[in-house]
């Protein structure tokens, strides 16, 4: 947790730079009530309200992961634990939204603007996906072995849920995004490529393993939760009733990896316990092709998103401790509703 604060503060400063904000103290500045720039108000929105979501959202996510882990320790199913995990940050987001309601109302309580051509919005969305763990690499901390799995199938616990806030013109758009996602490995047979020798607890010595082998993995062998915080930029294509657009996005991931099994090298379940409970920062990116149907103060949209989320963590114990890394690749089907910030 010591690294949480600097990462959060760095992200806040990064957003301030991206949106060109270099403002004086908000309490000492009064908005022009006659004619005001929407972009100026939006910059205030990003620097005065969004930091609350970024900062407290991290802690709500962490608390949800902790409660989900406690549920497994108390004997609850992974499905129940994932439900507890989901409810906690969603409740946190609702409380943050309620806590900033008056600030938003005061900020947007102006009726005359000088840049009507730009649409400023907030989106709430769902994003089911088809996903898999790709290029799984494990390396023994003793340096005596390495293993990799090209692909392992995963499934979603719940569709990704998130919000976006930003703007678009006739051609370009930019928005800030936060989302929650949860996946787990399916029951399957994984095919490992192995080099070196590994410690055998039964014989108390290192033994060589075949260069390729099969391991039967149970459902929920790995439980993955992520809080994503990032930026998207997109370009609108010619309109034909719907507005198509293409874009890219990238940002920071706050990842949780949990399991009732110590690690791939030690496939013995520890009942009513979390043998693996690791949290770390990493990064993710995506491209997207979207279609937007606009109305006067709102719009509906659908996006196809190839997504890449990176994980890196420690697992196993004793002489079977290892360092694992992989990429969670998915094709997300994101759909949502956007509403104007100035309606």
Using one digit for the tens of pLDDT, what is the confidence trace for 2-50?
344 444 444 444 444 444 443 333 333 444 445 577 888 888 888 878 8
Count of C-beta atoms within a 10 Å radius of residue 198? 19
Tokens 């309109």 belong to: 239
Give the separation between CA 310 and CA 129, rounded to whole angstroms.
16
Q: Is the pLDDT of residue 256 over 90?
A: yes
Q: Give pLDDT tens digits for 64-94.
A: 999 998 988 888 888 898 898 989 988 888 8
Task: Provide the pLDDT for residue 20.
Answer: 42
179 Cβ neighbours under 8 A, 6+ residues apart: 125, 127, 160, 161, 162, 163, 227, 228
Average pLDDT over residues 182-190: 92
Average pLDDT over residues 144-155: 90
Contact yes or no for 152/132 (Cβ under 8 A): yes
Task: Provide the pLDDT for residue 270.
Answer: 57
Going by their DSSP bridges, the two strands 205-208 and 188-200 should be labelled as antiparallel
Q: Give pLDDT tens digits for 92-139.
A: 888 888 887 777 777 777 665 666 678 999 999 999 999 999 999 989
Average pLDDT over residues 159-166: 94
Give the separation between CA 222 and CA 204, rounded to whole angstroms.
27
Task: Provide the pLDDT for residue 272.
Answer: 59
Q: Give pLDDT tens digits for 191-211.
A: 888 888 888 777 788 888 788
Sign of the C-alpha dihedral computed for residues 70, 71, 74 and 79 taken in this order: negative
pLDDT level of residue 142 (50, 70, 90 thresholds): confident
From the number of C-beta atoms within 10 Å of its C-beta (0-12, 13-18, 19+), residue 295 rates as exposed
Q: Which of 31, 162, 169, 160 is nearest to 103 (CA)?
A: 31
Contact yes or no for 147/192 (Cβ under 8 A): yes
Task: Provide the pLDDT for residue 263.
Answer: 59
Query: What end-to-end distance do the CA atoms of the chain give, in Å?
Result: 40
Higher pLDDT, 141 or 25: 141
The pTM for the full model equals 0.83
Produce one character per residue of 47-61: b if its CB has 16 or more CB atoms within 10 Å, e if not: bbbbbebbbbbbebb
Contact yes or no for 321/262 (Cβ under 8 A): no
Task: Provide the pLDDT for residue 27.
Answer: 36
Q: Is the pLDDT of residue 186 over 90?
A: yes
Domains and CATH numbers, the chain: 4-340 (2.40.160.20)
From the number of C-beta atoms within 10 Å of its C-beta (0-12, 13-18, 19+), residue 104 rates as middle
Average pLDDT over residues 217-236: 93
Task: Provide the pLDDT for residue 269.
Answer: 55
Query: Residue 224 corresponds to which tokens in the numbers above?
Result: 């993955």
């Amino acid at each position: 947790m010591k690294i949480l604060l600097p990462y959060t503060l760095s992200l806040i400063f990064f957003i301030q730079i991206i949106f060109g904000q270099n403002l004086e103290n908000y309490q000492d500045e009064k908005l022009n009530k006659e004619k005001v720039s929407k972009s100026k108000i939006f910059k205030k929105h990003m620097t005065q309200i969004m930091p609350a979501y970024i900062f407290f959202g991290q802690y709500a996510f962490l608390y949800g992961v902790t409660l989900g882990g406690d549920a497994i320790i108390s004997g609850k199913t992974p499905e129940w634990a994932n439900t507890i995990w989901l409810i906690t940050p969603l409740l946190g987001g609702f409380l943050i939204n309620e806590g900033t309601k008056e600030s938003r109302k005061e900020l947007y309580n102006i009726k005359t603007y000088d840049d009507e051509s730009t649409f400023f919005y907030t989106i709430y969305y769902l994003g089911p996906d088809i996903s898999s763990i790709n290029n799984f690499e494990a390396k023994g901390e003793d340096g005596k072995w390495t293993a990799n799995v090209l692909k392992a199938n995963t499934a979603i616990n719940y569709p990704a849920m998130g919000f976006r806030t930003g703007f678009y013109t006739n051609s370009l758009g930019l928005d800030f995004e936060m989302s929650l996602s949860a996946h787990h490995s399916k029951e399957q047979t994984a095919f490992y490529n192995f080099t070196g020798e590994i410690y055998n607890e039964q014989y108390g010595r290192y033994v060589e393993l075949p260069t390729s082998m099969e391991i039967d993995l149970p459902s929920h062998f790995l439980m993955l939760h992520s809080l994503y915080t990032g930026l998207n930029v997109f370009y609108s294509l010619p309109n034909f009733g719907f507005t198509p657009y293409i874009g890219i996005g990238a940002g920071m991931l706050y990842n949780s990896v949990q399991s009732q099994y110590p690690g791939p090298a030690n496939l013995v379940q520890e009942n009513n316990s979390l043998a693996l409970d690791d949290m770390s920062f990493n990064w993710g990116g995506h491209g997207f092709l979207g279609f937007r149907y606009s109305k006067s103060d709102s719009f509906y949209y659908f996006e196809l998103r190839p997504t890449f989320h990176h994980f890196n963590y420690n697992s196993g114990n004793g002489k079977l401790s290892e360092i694992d890394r992989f990429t969670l690749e998915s094709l997300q089907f994101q759909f949502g509703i956007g509403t104007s910030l100035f309606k």
